[in-house]
Structure formats: structure tokens, C-alpha cells
């Protein structure tokens, strides 16, 4: 066989195999509906059980974590004051001061730092190392921007937006259930993260900074949406005529929150529920922790690549839904498919054996979702952008046939992610009956995160799936997506305000 013939045969085989793989990533309307009703059921179970999503309770599936946040009211945009916010999530730490102007706007000063390698997963870092680092960054920020207001007798309120699952019994305390997304400091699990941070703030001499509220990033997103848009005040709405219903994140991780009636949160200890009702509270924001939806893998679409990834990164609570949806994993799914195609001799044939594959393709998490985003929209006839992306990110030359295969794979992986992303949104809208309530059922979903914000076509694909799912085109039309800018910082500040 000539060299050209060999390539033609190989290209056909590659095409056939890739089209099989692509079909295994497809998700149809029936699956979306099935997953949505299972999601609602898991929400109900989670509201009744104190489960933290860890397994099985009395033979029943444990349900979603559904963590009570102790946030019982929504801001309306008239709030004022200067608050500090600390935001830990993903790979960065941000420390900010937020001036709420009382007119739906705010001004932020902030400093962002990457979490240093010595604190990341795989090291023997301790809680003191991590929270000591956060306290030192906080001190540097305050010295730089707010030395004027640093007086021992003037306390500064700080809201801590902590994007990991915590068990809360009040707004200003919470014990870490498990780490997710690249951090894994075992001795923090089971400890109160507010206390750990406060202790280290005292050590660096910041006694006047009081960590008064702990919140999840999704709740930050929701609160800053309410502040920016204006929620109901005595039945009147300031801002747009549409009800803020959901706060969600589709970025390194994925998760969401919504307001639930206190009477429905069966797992709240009786004395807390009674106290809240006595105080006139009717609803509370619930952090769903939907990244671990269907950790038993009963309804999620699952390819052999997902099974490998689920197994390989099984710690941190499974997070099966997150592994199919979030930005941290989209590139990793593609990388696994490519390594498999290579092992079958169908792609990158210049590297005959696995050992010869470039180190970068063999290394987990080397393909970022930014690379996928560029490939997704490459419409040049030679797929030039794809070629450049592979050269730049992996130093890998590719043939046109390979690039076509890669682009098809990228597009099914991102479509599946966006289709799955619609499931929790429909589920919450149905569970809360929001589409049949105020303002003719027009609802707002506040979002943040790199994937939903920046990945080309993600939101449109998500909307498409909303229309295919149980709320149908009518429900999809009434659902408005609004980007909550600086949600972690503004949300942290708003939480500190209500504390």
C-alpha cells in the first residue's frame, strides 16, 4: 500500500470511529426529561435528609446535598455601605472591598492571587498554611487600599464567599464537607472555615476584620443579581419585571441555588425552623451542590471516557454531573478520547506507541476549555485555528482529517455539557412553580463562570435544551439569563450586610 493509500484508509477508519464516539455523547429530549424529573426527586430527598451527598440512607438514595444557607431575604438594590469580601474558589483567591451605592450599583477594589502550588492537591499543606496565606493577602490588601479605615475600634465586616460544600448551622459558621476542584487539604474537612480564617486574621493583626458571613459562590451570584436587578419590595418590583429565581455557576465547577420555603426544608432542626418562623422568615436560599447530581450514575449519559474519568478522579465526592459539564473537565474528556484514538492507531500516527505520545497529551488537564472554545468556532476550510491551537497548547502538528475529527468531538462534548446544564434550571423552575407565578411567570436566572459567559454558543445550546425539556419552548421563552458581574465579591458583601 502506498503512503497516500495508507492515509486514506486510516482517515476513513478515523471518521467511522469518531462518528461512533460522537453518537455516544448525544443527549435527546427524552433523556433531558428523565434527568429533570430525577433531579426534582433528588432535590426533595435532599431537603428531607441530612445527607451531604455521601451515600445511601436507609436504603434510599441520599439525594442532593441541598445545603441551607441561612440567607433568608433578598436584597432589593437600595442597600448601602462598605463591606469586605473574600472569595476562594477555583484556582484563585480574591480579596475585595465593595462599596454598595444603594442604587443597584457598586464599586469594587480588589486584589486577585493565584493559589500557590504548595497549597494545591497532592501537597501536604495544612489548614493553617491555607488560611494563613488568605490572612496575609487580606492584610496586604487592607494596608494598600484601606489603611485609613483600619482602626481597632471600627470593626470591618467581611463576607467569605467559599465555593466548596460546607455544612452550615448559621450564617457565620460552616464546616467543610469535602474539597472539590483541585484543593484537597484533608485536615480542613470537618472544621469551621470561618473560625480558621478568623484565627489567622487575628495572628496577622487584623482583629478589627470580622468574618460575619459565609456563603457559596452561587448564593453570591443570586444575591448580586437581586441587588442589581431589584427584587420585590411589598409586591412592587424595582428594576425589570421578572422574578430572580436561580443563581448558578458554570465555570471550573458547576452549581446553583434558589429560594425554598422554610416549611419545605424538612431537614432543618426543629428549633431552628421554629426560631426562623418566629422571626417572620418564610424562605431560605438553598445551595444545591448539583455538581454531585446522580453520583450513583443512574440517569446521566455515560461514555467509557466518563467512566475512566469518574474512576480516576473519584475523590472529592464524585461530582459526576460536574465532570460532564464543568470547564475543568471538558478538555480532559477530549484528551481521554484522543489518547484512546491514538492507542487504536487512528490519530497522531507519527507517534506510534503510547510512550512516544508527547508528554503534554499524556498529562491530565493539559487541554483547557479555552482551546476547545477556539476549535468550536473555527470555520476556516483548513481548520487553521484548530491547527494553531494544537500547536500552541500541545506542540502537536495535526492533519486536516485529524482536525475535522477533533472539531466534531469538541462540538459533541460541549453540546452535551450545555444540554445537561439545562436540567437543573428546568428542575428548579418546575419545583418552585416559578413559571406560573408573578410577572406572568417571567423569571431571571443569574449566572457567572467562564463556560456560560465565554464558551461560544453555550448559552444558546442550553436554551435549546430548555425548550426540548419539560418546560418546553413556552417556558424557555420566559426564562431570562443575566450575567451577575463580580458576583463572588458583591455577593459576599451583600451577605456581610444581612449578617
State the minimum distance, in angstroms, from the CB of residue 359 to ligand GLC: 29
What are the residues whose beta carbons fall under 8 Å from the beta carbon of 463, sequence distance 6 or more?
A: 422, 476, 479, 481
User: Does 89 participate in binding ligand GLC (rule CB under 6 A)?
Assistant: yes
The C-alpha atoms of residue 123 and residue 132 are separated, in whole angstroms, by 16
What one-character DSSP code corresponds to residue 252? S
Binding segment for ligand GLC (CB under 6 A), chosen from 97-105, 216-224, 296-304, 389-397, is 216-224
The values of phi and psi at residue 243, to 5°, are -95, 125
Question: Catalytic one among 137, 178, 374, 463?
Answer: 178
Looking at 69, 139, 217, 422, which residue is catalytic?
A: 217
Interface residue with ligand GLC, options 46, 159, 165, 446 (CB under 6 A): 165
Instruction: Concatenate the DSSP letters of all residues of 399-432 into one string.
Output: -HHHHHHHHHHHHHHHHHHHHHHHHHHHHHHHHT
Taking CB under 6 A as the rule, does residue 442 contact ligand GLC?
no
181 part of the interface to ligand GLC, by CB under 6 A: yes
| Nearer to ligand GLC among residue 243 and residue 322 (C-beta) | 322
Edge-to-edge strands of the sheet including 209-215?
106-114, 92-101, 80-89, 156-162, 209-215
Q: Where are the alpha helices (DSSP H) in 25-126?
A: 29-48
The number of angstroms, rounded, from the C-alpha of 229 to the middle of its chain's C-alpha atoms is 22
Q: Considering the complex, state which of residue 157 and residue 178 has its C-beta at the smaller distance from ligand GLC.
A: 178
**Whether the Cβ atoms of residue 17 and residue 282 lie closer than 8 Å to each other:** no
Q: Which is nearer to ligand GLC, 137 or 181 (CB)?
A: 181
| Smallest separation (angstroms) from ligand GLC to the CB of 167 | 12
Window of 212-220, 223-231, 451-459, 476-484 that interacts with ligand GLC by CB under 6 A: 212-220
The answer to whether 322 contacts ligand GLC (rule: CB under 6 A) is yes
Q: Which is nearer to ligand GLC, 230 or 317 (CB)?
A: 317
Residue 163 found at the interface with ligand GLC (CB under 6 A): yes
486 binds ligand GLC (CB under 6 A): no
Q: Is 70 in the site for ligand GLC (CB under 6 A)?
A: no
**Residue recorded with cell 496586604:** 140
Measured CA to CA, the distance from residue 488 to residue 262 in angstroms comes to 25
CA 172 to chain centroid: 22
Please state at what angle helix 400-431 crosses helix 327-343, rounded to 10 degrees. 140
Is residue 489 close enough to count as binding ligand GLC by CB under 6 A? no
Smallest separation (angstroms) from ligand GLC to the CB of 91: 11
Question: 450 catalytic, yes or no?
Answer: no
178 is catalytic: yes
Determine, following the binding rule CB under 6 A, whether residue 255 of this chain makes contact with ligand GLC: yes
Name residue, grid cell 465532570. Answer: 323
DSSP secondary structure code for residue 115 in this structure: P
Identify the residue among 70, 164, 455, 458 touching ligand GLC (CB under 6 A): 164
Tell whether residue 218 is a contact of ligand GLC (CB under 6 A).
yes
> Are 84 and 156 spatial neighbours (Cβ–Cβ below 8 Å)?
yes
Q: Count CB-CB contacts under 10 A for residue 153.
A: 5
| Contact between 291 and ligand GLC per CB under 6 A | yes
Q: Does 253 bind ligand GLC (CB under 6 A)?
A: yes
CB 60 within 8 A of CB 257: no
Candidate segments 113-121, 246-254, 267-275, 349-357, binder of ligand GLC by CB under 6 A? 246-254
Provide CB contacts within 8 A for 40, sequence distance 6+: 427, 430, 431
- Beta strand 209-215 pairing with 156-162: parallel
Candidates 135-143, 160-168, 228-236, 367-375 — which segment interacts with ligand GLC by CB under 6 A? Answer: 160-168
Does residue 288 touch ligand GLC according to CB under 6 A?
A: no
Residue count, binding to ligand GLC (CB under 6 A): 17
Q: According to CB under 6 A, which one of 14, 71, 249, 357 is a site residue for ligand GLC?
A: 249
- Is 424 among the residues that bind ligand GLC (CB under 6 A)? no
404 annotated active-site: no
Between the alpha carbon of residue 306 and those of residues 314, 330, 337, 424, the distances in Å are: 11, 11, 10, 20
Task: Given the residues 69, 97, 139, 163, select the one marked as catalytic.
Answer: 163
Provide the minimum distance between the beta carbon of 448 and ligand GLC in the complex, in angstroms, as a whole number.
9
Angle of helix 3-24 relative to helix 400-431, nearest 10 degrees?
A: 0
The yes or no reply on residue 220 touching ligand GLC (CB under 6 A) is no
Distance CA 343, CA 92 (A): 36
What does the binding site for ligand GLC look like in residue numbers (CB under 6 A)?
Answer: 89, 163-165, 180-181, 216-218, 249, 251, 253-255, 289, 291, 322
Give catalytic residues, as residue numbers.
163, 178, 217
Amino acid at each position: 500500500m502506498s503512503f497516500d493509500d495508507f492515509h486514506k484508509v486510516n482517515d476513513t477508519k478515523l471518521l467511522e470511529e469518531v462518528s461512533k464516539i460522537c453518537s455516544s455523547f448525544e443527549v435527546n429530549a427524552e433523556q433531558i426529561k428523565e434527568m429533570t424529573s430525577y433531579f426534582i426527586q433528588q432535590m426533595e430527598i435532599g431537603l428531607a435528609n441530612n445527607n451531604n451527598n455521601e451515600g445511601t440512607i436507609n436504603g434510599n438514595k441520599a439525594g442532593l446535598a441541598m445545603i441551607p444557607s441561612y440567607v433568608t431575604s433578598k436584597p432589593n438594590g437600595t442597600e448601602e455601605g462598605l463591606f469586605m469580601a473574600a472569595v476562594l474558589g477555583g484556582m484563585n483567591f480574591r480579596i475585595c472591598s465593595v462599596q454598595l451605592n444603594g442604587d443597584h450599583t457598586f464599586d469594587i477594589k480588589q486584589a486577585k492571587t493565584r493559589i500557590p502550588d504548595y497549597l494545591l492537591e497532592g501537597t501536604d499543606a495544612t489548614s493553617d498554611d491555607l488560611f494563613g496565606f488568605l490572612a496575609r493577602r487580606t492584610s496586604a490588601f487592607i494596608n494598600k487600599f484601606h489603611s485609613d479605615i483600619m482602626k481597632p475600634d471600627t470593626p470591618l465586616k467581611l463576607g467569605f464567599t467559599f465555593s466548596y460544600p460546607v455544612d452550615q448551622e448559621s450564617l457565620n459558621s460552616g464546616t467543610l464537607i469535602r474539597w472539590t476542584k483541585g484543593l484537597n487539604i484533608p485536615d480542613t474537612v470537618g472544621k469551621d472555615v470561618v473560625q480558621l480564617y478568623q484565627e489567622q486574621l487575628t495572628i496577622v493583626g487584623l482583629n478589627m476584620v470580622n468574618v460575619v458571613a459565609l456563603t457559596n459562590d452561587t448564593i453570591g451570584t443570586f444575591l448580586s443579581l437581586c441587588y442589581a436587578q431589584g427584587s420585590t419590595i411589598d409586591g412592587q418590583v424595582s428594576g425589570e419585571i421578572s422574578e430572580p429565581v436561580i443563581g448558578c455557576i458554570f465555570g471550573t465547577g458547576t452549581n446553583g441555588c434558589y429560594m425554598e420555603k422554610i416549611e419545605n426544608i424538612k431537614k432543618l432542626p426543629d428549633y431552628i425552623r421554629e426560631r426562623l418562623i418566629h422571626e417572620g422568615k418564610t424562605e431560605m436560599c438553598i445551595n444545591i451542590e448539583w455538581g454531585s447530581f446522580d453520583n450513583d450514575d443512574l440517569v446521566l449519559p455515560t461514555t467509557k471516557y466518563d467512566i475512566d474519568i469518574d474512576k480516576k478522579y473519584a475523590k472529592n465526592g464524585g461530582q459526576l454531573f460536574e465532570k460532564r459539564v464543568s470547564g475543568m473537565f471538558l478538555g480532559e474528556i477530549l484528551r481521554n478520547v484522543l489518547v484512546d484514538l491514538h492507542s487504536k492507531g487512528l490519530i497522531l500516527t507519527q507517534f506510534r506507541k503510547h510512550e512516544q505520545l508527547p508528554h503534554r497529551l499524556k498529562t491530565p488537564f493539559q487541554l483547557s476549555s479555552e482551546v476547545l472554545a477556539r476549535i468550536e468556532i473555527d470555520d476556516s476550510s483548513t481548520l487553521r485555528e484548530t491547527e494553531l491551537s494544537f500547536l500552541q497548547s500541545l506542540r502537536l502538528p495535526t492533519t486536516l482529517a485529524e482536525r475535522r475529527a477533533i472539531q466534531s468531538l469538541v462540538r459533541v462534548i460541549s453540546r452535551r455539557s450545555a444540554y445537561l446544564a439545562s436540567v437543573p434550571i428546568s428542575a428548579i423552575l418546575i419545583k418552585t412553580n416559578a413559571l406560573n407565578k408573578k410577572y406572568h411567570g417571567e423569571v431571571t436566572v443569574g449566572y457567572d463562570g467562564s463556560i456560560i459567559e465565554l464558551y461560544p454558543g453555550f448559552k444558546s445550546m442550553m436554551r435549546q435544551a430548555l425548550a426540548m425539556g419539560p418546560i418546553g419552548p413556552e417556558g424557555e421563552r420566559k426564562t431570562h439569563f443575566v450575567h451577575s458581574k463580580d458576583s463572588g465579591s458583591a455577593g459576599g458583601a451583600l451577605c456581610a450586610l444581612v449578617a
